[in-house]
A and B are shown apart, each in its own frame.
Chain A
Amino acid sequence: MTKLTYTEKKDTRSGFGDGLLELGRTNPNVVGLCADLIGSLKMGAFQKEFPDRFFQTGIAEANMMGIAAGLATAGKIPFTGTFANFSTSRVYDQLRQSIAYSEKNVKVCASHAGLTLGEDGATHQVLEDIGMTKMLPNFTVINPCDYHQTKAATLAIAEHHGPVYLRFGRPSWPMFMENKLFEIGKAITLIEGGDVSIFATGHMVWKAIEAEAILSEQGISAEIINIHTIKPLDVNAILKSISKTRCVVSAEEHQIAGGLGESIAQTIVTNDLVPQEFVAVNDQFGESGKPEELLDKYGLGVNDIVEKAKKAVARKQ
């Protein structure tokens, strides 16, 4: 495998905005909705080019989800855009009844997820959204890791029939997934290794790649697997990797309860029990600060992944 590097950083939300614009040009059924955050969600280009297929709902997210369900009923493919907390916790009953239970083909696209939202603080740093959405029957849950993967995921979910939660973020982040195939539900092995499987999602994928370099220097061979689709989980990829490494670290910008790590734990407990360590927020709210400072403070830094990997390896003995 070629070594993963990056030369440029870009925000994942721009991947969404660019993907949506491309969809506008290729799929006439795609419509956009936004609750007063067009700039933050990078939906401005779509709005400008397709004003008749774009709906500004104002600050009324519950209504936006209902409108989207209605548009989907009549055959449109609605993409809603707002922050991740307003896309989930604020509208959970609407997601549950009007979209999930009603089987509507709505794409809930959510920016500013997690601690890396930064200075706005805990009110906006939703860390429970993966859990909320993965619990809803019929929902597919995707958390891409960089600009390219977010764009590819945006294009892919338009072709998938059914409700989708697409989670991305605010900060500029390393771009390293250009021209990588994206398939919903298919994990991507980024680095092969034999001592520990590190399953990472979203922004934490780059952190895991950095951790691998440190672990390698210390004589530990880590396998880095990008789980962009949390539901449906690529169980085969997980079991294949742990059959080789016999221990697991999960890494995500989410509460330890309800996240990717929990889904992986469920998989290994029911199939092939191996030690697992969790890199996740431990039942706390975030706070204001710079993204990198917050990741370090809440146990989501590169060194946290390194330490958890060493612990997982040690537990094998």
Chain B
Amino acid sequence: MPNQPDIENLQKTCSQVRRDIVRMVHAVQSGHPGGSLGCTEYFVALYHHIMSFDPSFNMEGASEDMFFLSNGHISPVFYSTLARSGFFEVSELSTFRKIGTRLQGHPATEEGLPGVRIASGSLGQGLSVASGVALAKKINGDDKHVFVLMGDGEQQEGQVWEAAMFAAHNKIDNLIATIDYNGQQIDGSTDEVNALGDLGSKYRSFGWEVLSCDGNDIGELIDTLQTAKTKSGHGKPVLILMKTEMGKGVDFMEGTHKWHGIAPNDEQLENALGQLEETLGDY
């Protein structure tokens, strides 16, 4: 039986991660707060409840659950969660996007930041990489899972569908992919830019098991991730269509693509932090 999640505690962690995100982006006046805020529950659920891993970190991750971020621009939420999970000191979050940092604008392995296993930023590549890792786990008889997060706009990249076809054909059923389904991309809504159609049907017709949930309801999200784990091992890769609100938790950033890639000014930062309780201590 899976552990019962401590929802209240997880929500407190989410609040702190959201504070980290807006503070990191504000400090360097660059970065991507919108998608980061929208995916906060997903990262906290994975790293604080769902996955088993060793924060001392080794690249190969044998006998560990492993996570890959394909939409690398939401690095602030990734870095905050890694720090708050013990991969590195939270004080290092203050170096985000500054010269010499391990916390590059988009995640990278070159500086050796614990927790990052692949560079991402140029979209469409993460599902392939995660499929390769999941294949290696199968060869090695390793029964742990591989998780990957993609954007919804990212589904416009052709490589995603190459990987979707390959993963189903090869029965990569230890792979749990999630799409951040917020309906927004840089230039506008996904419907305006290049409509995604019925993503669930598309993945089902490719041979995937498809689940959906509210990604900003951490209880429902954890239930869905647990269900995904029970669906694994049955010959099909699993996809979670995770409805989120871009900018979630900061009212003036919610539900708009405008905060995809811009930073709050001093006044907006104060306003945002006023909406987010400091629960674990700011970095």
Contacts and interface: CB of A to CB of B under 8 A. Distances in A.
Interface in B100-140: 108-110, 117-122, 124-137, 139-140
A102 B109 contact: yes
Contacts of B255: none
A55 B163 CA distance: 13
B47 interface: no
Contact of A97 (B122, B133, B137): B122
B159 interface: yes
A64 B166 CA distance: 9
A72 B59 CA distance: 10
A98 B59 CA distance: 14
A101 B107 CA distance: 11
Contacts of B121: 97
Contacts of A71: 132-133, 135-136
Contact of B128 (A62, A72, A75): A62
B122 A70 contact: no
A53 B139 CA distance: 8
A74 interface: yes
Q: B109, B110, B125, B165: which has the most chain A beta carbons within 10 Å?
A: B125
Contacts of A62: 124-125, 128, 158-159, 162
Contact of A67 (B109, B132, B140): B132
B226 interface: no
A31 B132 CA distance: 11
A67 B135 contact: yes
A60 B125 contact: no
Interface string B256-278: 00000000000000000000000
Nearest to B172: A67
Q: How large is the interface on A (under 10, 10 to 19, 20 to 34, 35 or more residues)?
A: 20 to 34
A74 B133 contact: yes
26 contacts: A52-B139, A62-B125, A62-B159, A63-B163, A66-B127, A67-B131, A67-B135, A69-B125, A69-B132, A70-B118, A70-B135, A71-B133, A73-B60, A73-B61, A74-B61, A74-B133, A75-B60, A78-B132, A94-B128, A97-B119, A97-B122, A97-B125, A98-B118, A98-B125, A102-B108, A103-B110
B128 A58 contact: no
Q: Chain B contact residues: over half helix, strand or loop, or mixed?
A: helix
B46 interface: no
Contacts of B109: 101-103
A78 B158 CA distance: 23
B119 A102 contact: yes
Q: Which 4 A-B pairs have the closest CB atoms?
A: A70-B132, A66-B128, A74-B136, A63-B162
Contact of B118 (A63, A69, A93): A69
Given A98-B129, A101-B108, A102-B109, A76 B136 contact: yes
A98 B110 contact: no
B136 A60 contact: no
Interface string A74-102: 11101000000000000001101110011
A30 B133 CA distance: 14
A66 B129 CA distance: 5
Interface of A: 31, 52-53, 55, 57-58, 60, 62-76, 78, 93-94, 96-98, 101-103
A70 B162 CA distance: 15
B170 interface: yes
B65 to A, nearest CB: 13
B62 interface: yes
Q: How large is the interface on B (under 10, 10 to 19, 20 to 34, 35 or more residues)?
A: 35 or more
Given A55-B170, A74-B140, A102-B118, A68 B132 contact: yes
Given A55-B135, A62-B128, A93-B122, 6 more contacts: A52-B139, A62-B124, A63-B131, A65-B128, A69-B129, A70-B136
Contacts of B129: 66-67, 69-70, 73, 98
Nearest to A104: B118
A47 to B, nearest CB: 14
A70 B133 contact: yes
Q: A64, A67, A76, A93: which has the most chain B beta carbons within 10 Å?
A: A67
Interface in B165-194: 165-166, 169-170
B166 A63 contact: yes
Contacts of B136: 70-71, 73-76
Contacts of B166: 57-58, 60, 63, 67
A31 B159 CA distance: 22
Given A53-B139, A60-B166, A66-B132, A73 B125 contact: no
A124 B131 CA distance: 29
Contact of B125 (A31, A66, A74, A76): A66
B159 A101 contact: no
A78 B139 CA distance: 13
A63 B159 contact: yes
A75 B139 CA distance: 11
Contacts of B62: 74-75
A66 B133 CA distance: 10
A169 B20 CA distance: 53
B117 to A, nearest CB: 5
Nearest to A71: B132
Contacts of B132: 66-74, 78
A79 to B, nearest CB: 13
Contacts of A75: 60, 62, 136
